[in-house]
Structure formats: structure tokens, C-alpha cells
């Protein structure tokens, strides 16, 4: 049993390693990814610099606290690079090449999870470097929690958030086995994620009723809450948030298993 588990681990590790190496061939993507991270932080610096000229506190944030939040949320949002999974699955189902994933000696979903691990590990250092450069360049008094339990919960939430987004994009991709067009599903997902993850505007600026509704959605726990926890805010939500996101991952996995079992029968390997 131990040998089998080790063999499976090595297969997934090899997939992650291959995709990590593959990113080296796309050096321009690395540059654009860093520039995008920098541009979001620069936008926040200019925007909130004007706002904080009139006020010393906005929704409990100081100027440096707000920038710390944006640096963290930008860093975490750039790490989430699973959007292409749904598009790749959709394209391969339509042109009949999705069979390649079904014949691998590992699960199709596991393959894409391992692929995401390799991509994230590659971009991790570059996104971190971009964030650190801004901290020193603008002399930001970076706000970060010193509570080890909060840091552990936030880190766990980040990992679960990355897993959830891979699960979600995989699920939306395999819907192509049944539906002719999944663009509507992708649009709804993208719009919800852009708003509820808090990468555009911190959710703390919204009315409490709206924030309570957003807490019902998993996207709230993917980027926004971990960023708040790392900056020392919303600490009472740390453990409940971790459990809620774990519950979403478990429920979505059950939905994926049911959908995959039902819809894969519709795939004949020659395209749709």
C-alpha cells in the first residue's frame, strides 16, 4: 500500500515538475505577470493616496494598512492561475483530444491539480519579488500579523482557495461534455470572483448586510479573508473561515465526482 501511494505521488510530482519547467519557455508571461501585479499596487497607491489626504482612517484602514492589504491581495490573486483549465478542457473535448487525459495512469482532475502546483511554484518567487519591491520602493510600513495561529489559518485558507479554484475550473470545463457553450458559466464565475475576492475594492467598504451575503460564497475565503487575516484583521473569522472553505471544497468534489461519472459517458473521443 505504501509503495502504491509513493508511486502515485511520484507521478503527480513529475507532472508538477514538467509544468514548472515549461514555464521557463514563456519568459514574456513572467514579465507581464509581474507588471500586472505592480500595476494593481500602483493603482491602489495613487487612488488611496488621494483618499487618505482627506482622512486618516477609511473603514478602519490606515493608509499603510490599506496598501498592505492590496499588496497581499494582489500577490494572492496572481498566484491563482487556474482560469485556463476550463478553457483547455473545453477545447480538448470539442476537438476530441481529451482522451489523452483519460488514458493517463492518474486521474484527469489530479493531473490539472498537479499542473497548477507546478505553475504556482514557478510564479511564487516572482510575485513575491514584485510585492517586496513595492514595499521598499514606496517605503510602506507593511502591516502583518504576528499571531502564529492566524498565520497558519490564513496560509491554510490560501492553499484551500487555490484547490477550490482548480476544482471549480475543472468542473466548469467538464460541463462541455453536456453543454454546447459554457461561456455563460465562465462569465458568471469571473464576475463573482472579481467582486467577492476583494481584489478590486476591500469588502470592508461594503455595507455589513452585503458582506454577510458574500460570506456565503466561497470566493470570500479565497483572497479577501486571507489578506485581511495576514494584516491582522477579521481574526475571529480565521477558524470558521477555514472550516467553511474546507466544506466548500468537499461539496464541490462530490459534485465533480457525480458529474464526471454521469457526463463522461457522453464523450466518444472524436469531438463534439
pLDDT surpasses 90 at 254: yes
Residue 29: count of CB within 10 angstroms of its CB? 13
Residues 223 and 159: beta-carbon distance below 8 Å: no
The pTM for the full model equals: 0.86
Most confident of 4-18, 172-186, 188-202: 172-186
Q: With 90 as the cut, is the pLDDT of residue 256 above it?
A: yes
Predicted pLDDT at 105: 76
Average pLDDT of the chain is: 83
- Say how far apart CA 256 and CA 233 lie, in whole Å: 34
Dihedral angle at the C-alpha atoms of 226, 245, 13, 101, nearest 10 degrees? -130
> Are 71 and 135 a contacting pair, CB within 8 Å?
yes
Question: Where is average pLDDT lowest: 78-92, 167-181, 241-255?
Answer: 78-92
Residue for grid cell 497607491: 45
Burial per residue of 128-167, b for 16 or more beta-carbon CB atoms within 10 angstroms, e otherwise:
eebbeebbeeeebebbebeeeebeebbebbbebbbbbbbb
Q: Which of 36, 32, 67, 71 has the alpha carbon at shortest distance from 52?
A: 67
Nearby residues of 98 by Cβ (< 8 Å), 6 or more positions away: 89, 92, 267, 269
Q: Are the CB atoms for 51 and 58 separated by under 8 Å?
A: yes
Higher pLDDT: 84 or 168? It is 168
Least confident piece of the model among 112-126, 196-210, 217-231, 238-252:
196-210
Amino acid 271: pLDDT: 47
Q: Is the pLDDT of residue 187 over 50?
A: yes
d(CA 201, CA 217): 17
Residue 13 in grid coordinates: 510530482
For residue 58, give the 3-state DSSP assignment. Answer: strand
Check whether 251 has a pLDDT greater than 50.
Answer: yes
DSSP string for residues in 149-214: HHHHHHHHHHHHHHHHHHHHHHHHHHGGGT-S--HHHHHHHHHHHHHHT-SSS-GGGS-HHHHHHH
Mean pLDDT of 27-43: 71
Residue 180 has pLDDT above 50, yes or no: yes
Closest to 41 (Cα-Cα) out of 130, 144, 160:
130
Q: How does pLDDT run across 39-77, given as a tens digit for each residue?
A: 777 777 777 778 787 777 877 788 888 888 888 888 888
Q: What is the per-residue DSSP string for 226-251?
A: HHHHHTT--GGGHHHHHHHHHHHHHH
Amino acid at each position: 500500500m505504501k509503495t502504491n501511494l509513493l508511486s502515485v505521488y511520484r507521478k503527480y510530482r513529475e507532472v508538477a515538475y514538467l509544468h514548472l519547467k515549461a514555464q521557463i519557455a514563456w519568459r514574456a508571461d513572467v514579465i507581464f505577470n509581474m507588471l500586472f501585479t505592480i500595476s494593481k499596487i500602483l493603482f491602489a497607491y495613487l487612488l488611496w493616496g488621494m483618499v487618505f489626504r482627506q482622512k486618516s482612517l477609511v473603514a478602519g484602514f490606515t493608509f499603510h494598512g490599506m496598501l498592505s492589504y492590496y499588496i497581499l491581495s494582489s500577490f494572492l490573486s496572481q498566484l491563482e492561475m487556474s482560469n485556463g483549465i476550463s478553457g483547455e478542457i473545453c477545447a480538448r473535448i470539442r476537438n476530441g483530444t481529451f482522451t489523452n487525459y483519460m488514458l493517463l495512469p492518474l486521474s484527469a482532475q489530479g493531473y490539472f491539480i498537479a499542473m497548477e502546483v507546478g505553475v504556482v511554484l514557478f510564479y511564487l518567487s516572482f510575485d513575491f519579488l514584485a510585492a517586496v519591491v513595492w514595499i521598499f520602493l514606496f517605503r510602506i510600513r507593511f502591516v502583518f500579523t504576528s499571531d502564529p495561529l492566524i498565520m497558519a489559518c490564513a496560509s491554510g485558507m490560501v492553499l484551500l482557495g487555490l484547490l477550490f479554484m482548480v476544482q471549480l475550473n475543472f468542473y466548469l470545463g467538464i460541463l462541455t461534455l453536456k453543454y454546447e457553450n459554457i461561456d455563460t458559466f465562465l462569465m458568471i464565475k469571473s464576475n463573482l470572483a472579481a467582486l467577492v475576492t476583494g481584489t478590486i475594492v476591500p469588502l470592508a467598504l461594503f455595507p455589513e448586510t452585503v458582506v454577510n451575503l458574500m460570506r456565503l460564497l466561497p470566493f470570500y475565503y479565497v483572497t479577501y479573508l486571507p489578506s485581511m487575516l495576514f494584516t491582522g484583521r477579521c481574526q475571529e473569522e480565521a477558524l470558521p473561515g477555514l472550516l467553511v472553505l474546507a466544506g466548500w471544497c468537499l461539496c464541490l468534489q462530490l459534485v465533480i465526482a457525480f458529474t464526471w461519472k454521469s457526463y463522461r459517458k457522453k464523450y466518444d473521443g472524436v469531438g463534439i
